[in-house]
Amino acid sequence: MTIRRRLTLWYAGILIASLLVIGLGTYQEISEQLRHSHRREPAAHALDETGELIFQVGLPAVLLGLLGGWWLTRRALAPVARLTAAVEKIQECNLREPLSRTGNGDELDRLTEVFNAMAVRLDGSFNRIREFTLHASHELKTPLTVLRGETETALRDESLSPAERERCASMLDELRRLTQIVDGLTLLAKADAGQIALQWETVRLDELVSDNFADAQILAETHDIKVALARCEEVSVRGDRHRLRQLLLNLADNAIKYNQPQGRVTMNLRRADGFAEFAIANTGAGIPPEILPRVFDRFFRGDSAHGNTIDGCGLGLSIAQWIVSAHAGTIRITSEPAKLTTVAVQIPVCAPQGTPA
Amino acid sequence: MRVLVVEDERKTAWFVRKALQAEGFAVDACPNGDDALAALQSTPFDAVVLDIMLPGRDGLSVLRQLRERKNSVPVLLLSARGEVGERVEGLNAGADDYLPKPFELAELIARVRALTRRGGENKSTVLRVADLTLDTLTRKAQRGASEIELTVREYRLLEFLMRSAGRLCGRMMILEKVWDYGFDPGTNLVDVYVRRLREKIDAHFETKLLHTVRGSGYVLKETP
């Protein structure tokens, strides 16, 4: 029950109670006076009239009180509703925009001020985390470069025994993986800080998709998976060619990696209603509904038993999500476990004259 | 061939220098931009490996200064930032190539080699390695007497490997030249394509031509 309704009800209750008290008091007073006088006939009549009067005046008074109370609480609570609506719109990205204040110095204005101060502190914390990730990934690059260089130098030593050589090569594989993680982390940290400039141009998405289809077929072959391009309609978007290719390859790679032998991957590109819609479906084990909302989280891997057998840096879908949102698009994932898992991407199509949308 | 390595990180400078020396280059190294400009003024180099993040004058500024002085020595930029935008900026400033850190040594060597050979690349229309030939006009590949069917991508991969025959080709370099990817897609795309290509050109022949260098990349040559 809302505060407004609760207050109105209380108010109505008090109103009725006070009316009853007044009514009862008046009634008793009049009947007392009448008992002391000796005229009987009109006495009963006067009592009846009083009762009627109380009823006739009391009922509208209660109704008016109810309406008035409702209006009053509504008026008193309107700033709270406005504040709620404003706070609801707060996201990580607009923390710096302060909520507008009335400036009249009342309790709610003070509350707004406190909210604004809290948003500033939160923004500071987010910034510190972003900067930390960015610095950490940069700091990791120098020792990684040295490690890789030294390991490769060691591997070039002709006098190495086969076992030593194998150990060095295996170390190099892990270093490559570490590099991928650091690269992905740097990319996302920079994207968060708004430090990545996309190279905008008009891109024929259908050409990128059919190119990607060819690569996906080859990647899928070793896993005994069939890839199909069900539809590929001609459509152009305004975007960064490299990033879009990265996105498509990333999604195709996932659809193959998380599939099962003899599985299928189906790609679909269509033009719909101002959008280019690319959908890629796979027949893998699927994603349980409870973890579906978390698949775009960084380093999130479904069940660990699954994650161990599949390599990758755990940042693929986060990167995909960033690329899509940088193109003002949306990405959704739906899954019917053990049947079909589909990732659908929508990107606004190019404006006719090639002006950015 | 004389190469100048401009890198302030001591260990990185050391192994880059060592690796290039092992490949037969004469290597000079300096840890900052001003020293590099002075060295480039007094000594002719065949290539420069230039880190962007240097103390004092940074790599891009060194590069711009160099081009202003009409010095056209081939420059390979190294950067710990590794962004497409930065790569474009570097190439616009007059760099000839760009390599993000952390890089593979094999990759660096292959790129320095390519820079110092610029212009001297195999430009003939028919490429040949042992009994494998590739006609770049008709786009036909042949091993011995049998013709080999290639997809467009396989053709581009084979052409790249044959043009760099005998030299190690790193994965990143292959991704860049054959796929035009400016990023590491984190898939084993290159390995899968090389495996397919190997099946087509090597499977039925005694002498293997396409070799894997564990941890580094691939090389197309007659002797392992």
The beta-carbon neighbor of B80 closest among A141, A197, A218 is A141
Q: In whole angstroms, what is the distance from residue A182 CA to residue A176 CA?
A: 10
Residues B77-96, mean pLDDT to the nearest whole number: 82
- Closest-CA residue in chain A for B105? A149
Domain B2-116 has CATH 3.40.50.2300: yes
Is the pLDDT at A242 greater than 70? The verdict is yes
List, in sequence order, the alpha helices (H) in chain B. Answer: 10-22, 33-42, 59-68, 84-92, 105-116, 152-163, 171-174, 189-201
For chain B, percent of residues with pLDDT exceeding 90? 36
Residues A230-239, mean pLDDT to the nearest whole number: 93
Cβ–Cβ gap A214/B15 under 8 Å = no
Is the pLDDT at A227 greater than 90? The verdict is yes
Residues A289-301, mean pLDDT to the nearest whole number: 85
Cβ–Cβ gap B214/A155 under 8 Å = yes
Q: How far apart are the CA of A339 and the nearest CA of chain B, in angstroms?
A: 25
Cβ(B78)–Cβ(B96) under 8 Å?
no
The beta-carbon neighbor of B189 closest among A153, A190, A215 is A215
Chain B contact set for A189 (CB, 8 A): none
Highest mean pLDDT among A90-104, A280-294, B180-194: A280-294
Chain B contact set for A150 (CB, 8 A): 11, 15
Could you report the per-residue pLDDT of A7-23, keeping only the tens digit for each? 888 888 888 888 888 88
pLDDT of residue A327: 94
The beta-carbon neighbor of A183 closest among B184, B193, B216 is B184
pLDDT of residue B186: 72
Q: How far apart are the CA of B101 and the nearest CA of chain A, in angstroms?
A: 6
pLDDT of residue A6: 80
pLDDT of residue A325: 93
Residues B183-204, mean pLDDT to the nearest whole number: 86
Mean pLDDT rounded to a whole number for chain A: 84
Cβ–Cβ gap B15/A141 under 8 Å = no
pLDDT of residue A310: 56
Q: How far apart are the CA of A268 and the nearest CA of chain B, in angstroms?
A: 22
Could you report the per-residue pLDDT of A19-69, keeping only the tens digit for each? 888 888 888 888 888 887 765 556 667 667 777 777 777 778 778 888 888
Cβ–Cβ gap B85/A197 under 8 Å = yes
Could you report the per-residue pLDDT of A98-115, keeping only the tens digit for each? 888 877 778 888 888 888
A278: confidence class by pLDDT, cuts 50, 70, 90: very high
Cβ–Cβ gap B106/A152 under 8 Å = yes
Chain B contact set for A240 (CB, 8 A): 84
Interface of A with B in 6-25 (CB under 8 A): none
Cβ–Cβ gap B15/A150 under 8 Å = yes
A301 contact B CB<8A: no
Is the pLDDT at B103 greater than 50? The verdict is yes
Residues whose CB falls within 8 Å of the CB of residue A269, separated by 6 or more in sequence, listed in order: A205, A206, A209, A231, A232, A233, A235, A276, A277, A278, A279
Report the candidate in A303, A243, A248 with the shortest Cα–Cα distance to residue A278.
Answer: A248
Report the candidate in B90, B51, B147 with the shortest Cα–Cα distance to residue A142.
Answer: B51
The beta-carbon neighbor of B185 closest among A138, A151, A249 is A249
Is the pLDDT at A357 greater than 50? The verdict is no
Could you report the per-residue pLDDT of A255-269, keeping only the tens digit for each? 998 888 889 999 999
- What CATH number belongs to B126-220? 1.10.10.10
Is the pLDDT at A230 greater than 70? The verdict is yes
The beta-carbon neighbor of B183 closest among A141, A150, A242 is A242
Q: Which one is predicted more confidently, B85 or A131?
A: A131
Highest mean pLDDT among A146-155, A232-241, B76-85: A232-241
A308: confidence class by pLDDT, cuts 50, 70, 90: very low
The beta-carbon neighbor of B184 closest among A169, A180, A245 is A180
Q: Which one is predicted more confidently, B171 or A332?
A: A332
Report the candidate in B30, B21, B215 with the shortest Cα–Cα distance to residue B104.
Answer: B215
Could you report the per-residue pLDDT of A133-184, keeping only the tens digit for each? 888 888 888 889 899 888 888 888 888 898 998 898 889 888 888 888 888 8
pLDDT of residue A25: 84
Q: Which one is predicted more confidently, A1 or B161?
A: B161
B88 contact A CB<8A: yes
Report the candidate in B5, B25, B23 with the shortest Cα–Cα distance to residue B14.
Answer: B5
Cβ(B215)–Cβ(B222) under 8 Å?
no
Interface of A with B in 251-290 (CB under 8 A): 253
Chain A contact set for B214 (CB, 8 A): 155, 165, 169, 172
pLDDT of residue A249: 92
pLDDT of residue A39: 57
Residues A88-100, mean pLDDT to the nearest whole number: 81
Q: In whole angstroms, what is the distance from residue B193 CA to residue A215 CA?
A: 9
pLDDT of residue A229: 95
- Closest-CA residue in chain B for A250? B185
For an interface test with A, which of B183, B194, B197, B198 has the most A Cβ atoms less than 10 Å from its Cβ? B183
Concatenated DSSP letters of B96-151: SEEEESS--HHHHHHHHHHHHTTT-S---SEEEETTEEEETTTTEEEETTEEE---
Cβ(B63)–Cβ(B90) under 8 Å?
yes
Question: Could you tell me the two tokens for A301?
Answer: 């891997």
Q: In whole angstroms, what is the distance from residue B170 CA to residue B184 CA?
A: 12
Could you report the per-residue pLDDT of A310-340, keeping only the tens digit for each? 556 788 899 999 999 999 999 999 998 878 9
User: Domain coordinates of chain B in residue numbers?
Assistant: 2-116, 126-220
Residues B194-212, mean pLDDT to the nearest whole number: 89
For an interface test with B, which of A134, A147, A152 has the most B Cβ atoms less than 10 Å from its Cβ? A152
- Closest-CA residue in chain B for A169? B215
Cβ–Cβ gap B216/A152 under 8 Å = yes
